[in-house]
């Protein structure tokens, strides 16, 4: 059960980081 929670938290954090990186990349590319 703890593993499920840890995996979920890691997924949420990874999602936020991934979104931020993609946003930065798109801004640099001039798409966003």
Query: Residue 12 corresponds to which tokens in the numbers above?
Result: 């949420």
Task: Supply the DSSP symbol for 32.
Answer: -
- Please tell me the distance from the alpha carbon of residue 15 to that of residue 19, in angstroms, as a whole number: 6
Summarize pLDDT for 5-32 with one digit per residue, the tens: 999 999 999 999 999 998 888 888 776 5
Predicted confidence at residue 31, as pLDDT, reads: 67
**pTM of the shown model:** 0.56
Predicted confidence at residue 30, as pLDDT, reads: 79
Residues composing the chain: 32
């Amino acid at each position: 059960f703890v593993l499920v929670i840890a995996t979920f938290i890691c997924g949420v954090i990874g999602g936020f980081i991934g979104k931020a990186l993609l946003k930065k990349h798109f801004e640099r590319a001039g798409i966003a």
